[in-house]
Amino acid sequence: MNIERMERRGWGNRTFDALNAIFLILLMLTMIIPFANVVALAFSSGMASMKPEIILFPKEFSIEGFGTVWNSLDLRRPFMNSVIVTVTGTLLHVLLSSMAGFVLIQPQLPGKKFMVSFILLTMMIPQDAIMIPLYLVNQDLHLINTLSSLVLSGMISGFSILLMRNFFLSVPYEMCESAQIDGLGMLRIFTTIYMRLAITGVATVTLFEFVSRWNMLSAPVLFINDSHKITLQVALKSMITDASATSGNLLITTNVRMAGILISIMPLLAVYPFIQRYFMKGLMLGANKE
């Protein structure tokens, strides 16, 4: 009887694993095929890329799309604007979130539970719901049409604060007390002890914020009207969504659009391998802490 049950359970497990594998393969194909199509079209010639079909390998191999999108369409300025906003905003976000997380682990901090509850409450409010108030604040501060408005937008978030707090809680507070006895100030304890021991959390927050800022679209569309200060995502949106897009006498072909998409994701692909191991470890540790 038990042998029959084990055989049934064995068949059930194998069937379940097979269905899982098929589902994951189909899910993977829904991501790989569109990306392979983008790469193939980007490296095809202009005429070949205009044919309405899905291709997985380049036709009439060419890199003219990259030259056109970078030089003729002047994608360099939006690209540099995105770099400035992303790098500056990410550094400030990580620094401020870490400092706030460090403050929240202090045992003598009055109103700590209320602060944590309030930070959790802010996470319930969607970013899109506060875009109009943010616009009015930036308008009062005369930041509309400046890159500063994009840097300040989302400069700190409840998720990052609580994530860093959880990482700092994993560091024994006795180390902080011993350092204070040795004469170290809180700023030095924060930078030399806690930030070093929580490098996994720093990498996790950095990657989240870097990706979020690089792909930012709503805030640039709302805050920036000057064509010299638009970001890469806004420039790509204008170039891709208009099917009959032209620039002067230049027809923007499909390979040019796809080349722009590839250029936009290159920084993300370049950053991810260096902090991947910290990122995966950080997600696991952050989920297990208090």
Question: CB under 8 Å to 107, separation ≥6 — which residues?
Answer: 173
Distance CA 129, CA 119 (A): 17
Q: Along the 290 residues of the chain, how does pLDDT read in single tens digits?
A: 566 666 666 777 888 888 999 999 999 999 899 989 989 888 888 788 788 888 888 888 888 888 887 877 778 888 899 999 999 999 999 999 999 999 999 888 888 889 988 888 888 888 778 888 888 988 898 888 888 889 888 888 888 999 899 888 888 888 888 888 888 888 888 888 888 888 888 888 888 888 889 888 888 888 888 888 888 888 888 777 665 555 555 677 888 888 888 888 888 888 777 777 776 666 666 555 54
- pLDDT, residue 8, reads 64
**Model pTM above 0.85:** no
Longest dimension (CA), the chain: 80
Contact 226, 78 (CB under 8 A): no
Other C-beta atoms lying within 10 Å of the C-beta of residue 60: 12
